[in-house]
């Protein structure tokens, strides 16, 4: 029997046999999650000589939950994640025709998982649409609770939309066409500061050279423009000894970043898409509001082979849910075909979060070796010359062999 992870002195206290809630997910979820568990269990056994292990606790969400309880996201599942602090999940379907807008969004909001963390790196041998995919090695911190995720919308032609338009025109002098759909996107100092703080803390721990604030503040001056200003303010107030802005480098240090300082810079969102293609080595940590983060994380993943190898996590101050970043792909469900790489690498992030970095490094190295051996699932095999196509479980077994 395992033991619960606890929080002591603002830090995780991780037992040798932690209980980790797991949501198997919908569509290809069960296939990739079973493969993930095989790999993670094998890596822990090898890294720690049998002294540590994971006690998996299956909890329900999505189609399995609805079939059993007539609920897409039972309260007991959210409570289990809170109680055990760390969890991992497969992809979940989005209910059609009302109810919860998105199960993934609901989990993030209910647990206040305010940072969506998406690392992007290249594995040698994966076919990429860019010439030098190895140049991209960065991590994106996407604000997870505000912006469009907590946005309010009113459909064109509804009494609510007409009322809002009338108020904006009459009371505030806004020039809005009649019949418009209306949306509001909130961005707060509180939400921005805690997200940027987490990004800078990561940069300090991992010895990263810079944190870039990605925004569209030239147009949305009081939401995304404020995100930029609050981001710089966070760096000045919380990390004055370890950070320096681009402006300070130019004005005080003759254009040279002082030794031991992390550079805080900002880029417009449209420019950022060019930058990660043309000058990716200049970026290591990106902090951004929600919608920008959605776009840039998938775009960066495409440069290194796609979402099949893109891990992700949703993290609060302590509670964290690691997840596959791709969808449910129902036409491949139960066919032992899907690439489990995304959720396996999310498991590596989970190990890093627990402080079990040696087990995570074993997996990363073994996955890289397996791809170099051209033993891959169908999505990679169809792009590679001379590759051996294997199923989901067989891919996991090949990784375990290379541990």
207 is in an annotated binding site: no
* Residue 162 bears catalytic tag: no
199 is in an annotated binding site: no
Distance CA(187)–CA(267), nearest Å, equals 18
Q: What are phi and psi of 359, to 5 degrees?
A: -65, -40
The three-class DSSP label of residue 23 is strand
Task: Please name the residue that has the structure tokens 């809630």.
Answer: 21
The three-class DSSP label of residue 386 is coil
378 is in an annotated binding site: yes
- Please name which of 32, 30, 50 lies closest in space to residue 41, comparing C-alpha atoms: 50
329 is in an annotated binding site: yes
Distance CA(218)–CA(174), nearest Å, equals 19
* Count of positions (residues) in the chain: 403
393 is in an annotated binding site: no
Helix, strand, coil shares of the chain, percent, nearest 5, are: 45, 20, 35
Indicate which residue of 149, 202, 232, 353 is catalytic. Answer: 149
**How far is residue 381 CA from its own chain's centroid?**
26
Residue 204 near residue 262 (C-beta atoms within 8 A): yes
- 251 to each of 72, 229, 235, how far by Cα in Å? 55, 18, 18
| Dihedral angle of Cα 162, 168, 171, 174, to the nearest 10 degrees | -130
330 is in an annotated binding site: yes
37 is in an annotated binding site: no
194 is in an annotated binding site: no
294 is in an annotated binding site: yes
Task: Please name the residue that has the structure tokens 């775009």.
Answer: 299
265 is in an annotated binding site: no
Indicate which residue of 266, 294, 353, 379 is catalytic. Answer: 294
218 is in an annotated binding site: no
328 is in an annotated binding site: yes
77 is in an annotated binding site: no
* Residue 147 bears catalytic tag: no
Cα 183-186-191 angle, rounded to 5 deg: 155
93 is in an annotated binding site: yes
Indicate which residue of 252, 253, 270, 317 is catalytic. Answer: 270
Residue 223 near residue 260 (C-beta atoms within 8 A): no
Dihedral-angle region of residue 242 (phi above 0 means left; psi in -120 to 50 means alpha; beta otherwise): alpha
385 is in an annotated binding site: no
236 is in an annotated binding site: no
Indicate which residue of 89, 197, 198, 216 is catalytic. Answer: 216
Cβ count near 78 (within 10 Å): 17
* Residue 82 bears catalytic tag: no
Q: Binding site residues, as ranges?
A: 93, 102, 104, 108, 118, 142, 294, 326-332, 339, 378, 382
Q: Binding site residues for Mg(2+), as ranges?
A: 294
Q: Binding site residues for NADP(+), as ranges?
A: 93, 326-332, 339, 378, 382
Active site residues: 149, 216, 270, 294
Q: Binding site residues for D-threo-isocitrate, as ranges?
A: 102, 104, 108, 118, 142
């Amino acid at each position: 029997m395992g033991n619960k992870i606890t929080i002591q002195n603002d830090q995780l206290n991780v037992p040798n046999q932690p209980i980790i809630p797991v949501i198997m997910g919908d569509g290809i979820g069960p296939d990739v999650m079973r493969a993930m568990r095989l790999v993670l269990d094998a890596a822990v056994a090898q890294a720690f000589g049998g002294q540590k292990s994971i006690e998996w606790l299956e909890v329900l969400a999505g189609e399995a939950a609805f079939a059993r309880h007539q609920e897409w996201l039972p309260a007991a599942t959210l409570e289990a994640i809170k109680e055990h602090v760390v969890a991992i999940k497969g992809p979940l379907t989005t209910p059609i025709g009302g109810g919860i807008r998105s199960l993934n969004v609901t989990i993030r909001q209910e647990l206040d998982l305010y940072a969506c963390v998406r690392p992007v790196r290249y594995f040698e041998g994966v076919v990429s649409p860019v010439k030098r995919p190895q140049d991209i090695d960065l991590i994106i911190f996407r604000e997870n609770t505000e912006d469009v995720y907590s946005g309010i919308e009113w459909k064109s032609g509804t009494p609510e939309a007409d009322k809002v338009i009338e108020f904006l025109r009459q009371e505030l002098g806004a020039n809005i066409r009649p019949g418009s759909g209306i949306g509001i996107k909130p961005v707060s100092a509180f939400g921005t500061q805690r997200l940027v703080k987490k990004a800078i803390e990561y940069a300090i721990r991992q010895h990263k050279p810079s944190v870039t604030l990605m925004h569209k503040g030239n147009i949305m001056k009081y939401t995304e423009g404020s995100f930029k200003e609050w981001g710089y303010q966070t760096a000045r107030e919380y990390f004055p000894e370890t950070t320096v802005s681009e402006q300070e480098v130019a004005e005080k240090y003759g254009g040279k970043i002082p030794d031991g300082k992390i550079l805080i810079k900002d880029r417009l969102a449209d420019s950022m898409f060019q930058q990660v293609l043309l000058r990716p080595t200049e970026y290591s940590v990106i902090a951004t509001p929600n919608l920008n983060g959605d776009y840039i994380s998938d775009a960066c993943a495409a440069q290194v082979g796609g979402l099949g190898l893109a891990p992700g996590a949703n993290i609060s101050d302590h509670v964290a849910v690691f997840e596959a970043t791709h969808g449910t792909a129902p036409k491949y469900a139960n066919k032992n075909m899907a690439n489990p790489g995304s959720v396996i690498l999310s498991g590596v992030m989970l190990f890093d979060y627990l402080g079990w970095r040696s087990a995570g490094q074993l997996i990363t190295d073994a996955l890289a070796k397996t791809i170099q051996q051209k033993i891959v699932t169908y999505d990679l095999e169809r792009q590679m010359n001379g590759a051996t196509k294997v199923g989901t479980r067989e891919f996991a077994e090949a990784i375990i062999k290379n541990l």
